[in-house]
Amino acid sequence: MERLKNMSLQRAFFLLTFLGLLTAVTLAALLWTGCRWVSSQYPLGGVSISPNGTITPLPQPTPEQLRVLSMLDIVSLLGWVVFPVAGLGMAGALFYRWKLTEPIRILMEGTRRIQDHDLDFTLPTPSADELGQICAAFENMRLELLKTNRELWRQAEERKRLNAAFAHDLRNPITVLKGNLKLLRNDTADELAMNRLESYTLRIEQYVESMSSIQRIEQMPVRIGEVNASVLRTELEETAGLFAPALHIEVSVPDLGVLRIDHGVFLNVAENLIGNAARFAQTKIKITLAIEKDILLLSVTDDGPGFPVELIKSGPQPFGRIEAGSEHFGMGLYSSSLLCLKHGGNLRLENRPDGAVTTASIQINSKL
């Protein structure tokens, strides 16, 4: 039965049809043989008894005997029609029951749940035939829809949080601008007020540019391509040399061969992490690249004071300033976190005895 379920629809149909016809022909032949045997054994003719007791044999069959023989002939002929038709009908019924019923039920149930906006289920694959492949394709489609819905939900929630952070961070600059405008209107503004006005105007421009940058990241498509790990090593060394020319740089990249990733995303994340480490490192920066299963791990370690505890708990935040002088923790790490998420990974911050470690994980695409 399991072998029949995994057989292709065409082969299963022909097999059941052949078996149905074979069974029908066998039964029809048995019926025909039985009718022939009964006809050969059936006594024909009869006797006639006269009033004086004389018995005379009758060589011809009687009308009743002829009717019986005719019925046997009709039954034997009908067997060659009824049994094949019944065999085909039985083959069709078995084909529907064994090959169609379960996949159709699964597909209808999956369609109904998707129409009800329910994607939180698993569509089983009942067989390896064409309908089973359709069920598997349907399940892949459901997973992609679920992934897309979750990404849209995440972006919507992220946009809410960004708008709230943006509005909160703009409140103070706008208040300062209003105060300075009053001073200008009253012709009492001094050089300090003018510098403050210019500073906060520049700050608002930076906020707007940051919001535009985040929106570009969210809309940026992931472009998978092949890149050799040796090329990544060279680029990491060059990037570290540009951001931290006075520090000791250690780059550790094993022979990972050819990787399928978004090269641009990787470089963007690497520049942000190395740039952030260069601001706090005292003497050295260590950069490592490794693979765990199908995840590419980029770790940047510096010997600086480490991350604030609040930042490690909450993760990178847009426009976040955990404490005075830590503005750079905001957009660089936050945009890197968004880029990692788009590439199926994440960004992890931690403190170790020898300094702060930032690890970006990026999923390696194995599809050609």
Quote the CA–CA distance of 135 and 330 in Å, as a whole number. 45
Per-residue burial over 56-81, b = 16 or more CB atoms within 10 Å of its CB, e = otherwise: eeeeebeeeeeeebeebeeebeebee
Average pLDDT, the chain: 80
- Give me the pLDDT at residue 77, please: 87
What the block records as the tokens of 133 is 């492949």
Whole-number pLDDT of residue 325: 45
- The answer to which of 94-98, 191-195, 282-286, 343-347 has the lowest mean pLDDT is 191-195
- Reported residue count of the chain is 368
Rounded to 5°, angle at Cα 254 from 248 and 258: 125
Neighbours of 273 (CB within 10 A): 26
Res 188 pLDDT > 90: no
117 — phi, psi (to 5°)?
60, 35
Least confident of 116-125, 243-252, 359-368: 359-368
Specify the pLDDT at position 368.
35
pLDDT in tens, 261-276: 888 888 888 988 998 8
Place of tokens 């039964």: 27
Q: How distant, in Å, are the alpha carbons of 109, 113, 145, 149, 206 from that of 116?
A: 11, 5, 14, 14, 44
Per-residue pLDDT for 329 more than 50? no
- In angstroms, the CA 338 to CA 318 distance is 11
User: Which residues, including other chains, have CB under 8 Å from residue 347's CB and lie 6 or more apart?
Assistant: 269, 315, 316, 333, 336, 337, 340, 358, 359, 360, 361
User: Strand 55-58 and strand 46-49: pairing?
Assistant: antiparallel
Instruction: With cut-offs at 50, 70 and 90, classify the pLDDT of residue 340.
Output: confident
CB atoms < 10 A from the CB of 303, how many? 19
SS3 (DSSP) at 152: helix
Dump pLDDT digits (tens) for 84-103: 999 999 999 988 888 888 88
Higher-confidence residue of 63 and 138: namely 138
How many whole angstroms separate alpha carbon 106 and alpha carbon 65?
A: 59
